[in-house]
Structure 1
Amino acid sequence: MGTRGPVPKRSTQRRRRNADGVPDISPPPATLVEAPQLDFPAHQLAADWYASLAESGQAQFFEPSDWQAARLLAYDLTRHLNAGRVSAQMTAALWSAMGDLLTTEAARRRVRLEIDRDSGDEDDQAAGVVAILDDYRRALSDDTG
């Protein structure tokens, strides 16, 4: 996973699409892991951030350890927001941890994961289709047939 340099362009904006080949990503598991409840009084912003993870497209790839990392991050974010004093170092650490959970488009692009919500089909929009998986499926069907 590249973490340095400029954020890669979306696949639809790249000129050399043939350079990447088959994406090195596996399809999501058949059963989704449900997000555990926050069992502490979270700051409203931290609770909203945590709740938004379950609605995000990348949540279909989350394992139980990812949800526990998100809970810990929500706890630290609550402590940071309730402290009354903003720490630049803590903000940077929280932002980095959020990036590890792929909560920003830049972080998802770096691992070549694109969530396409503008597909036109209402069912696909609601599900948050992961565009890279469609490429993966097409590549697999081309290889087998």
Structure 2
Amino acid sequence: MGVIKTGTRGPVPKRSDQRVRRNKDDGGDVEKLPAVGSVEIPDLDIEDPHPLIVDFYESLAESAQSQYYEPSDWQFARFTLHFANGLIKSNRPSSQMLAAVNAALTELLVSEGARRRVRLEVEREQSTGQLIDVAEMFRQQMSQ
């Protein structure tokens, strides 16, 4: 059985296009488990969820890293957001609960830093619309 590499510790690595390689990558072999079919995203199903929690769950479904989520990851997200919902609605929020929720969200790769630590980078295409040079428009207006 191959070794499954987990994320790195320490500072967040730079994006791959910003790194300069001075030594060989220590990646190692990864055992791959074949899976068939797509994963259905379950409903959030939290009683009276805070709007931030609803928005956050929907953003998970729209995020690029969610293509790697398995059914257990979606259940873990629901489980985590159940506690986050309680944290937001609490009159006495707990710093320990916040730390636990943050750690769980890191496991779901919700931040760029967490994704970089496992060597996953999202490259979202930018709009192909025409860029407007506002300074040039201003100069043209002034010269008329």
Q: What is the TM-score when the length of structure 2 is the normalising length?
A: 0.72
- Of residues 28, 33, 53, the one that matches 1:46 is 53
Structure 2: runs of 5+ lacking an equivalent: 1-5, 130-144
Cα offset, 1:30, TM superposition: 6.2
1:8–1:109 contact (8 Å) kept in structure 2: yes
Q: Percent identity over the alignment?
A: 50
Q: What is the TM-score when the length of structure 1 is the normalising length?
A: 0.72
Give the aligned residue type for 1:62: Y
Matched, 1:61 2:68: yes
Matched, 1:2 2:10: no
Query: 1:76 aligns to what?
Result: 83
Aligned equivalents of 2:17 and 2:8: distance in 1?
21
Task: Answer with 1 or 2: which has the greater Rg.
Answer: 2
Q: Could you say what the CA RMSD is over the residues aligned between the two structures, in angstroms?
A: 2.9
Q: Which has the higher helix share?
A: 1
Give the aligned residue type for 2:56: W
Matched, 1:16 2:55: no
Give the aligned residue type for 2:81: A
- Give the total of aligned pairs: 122
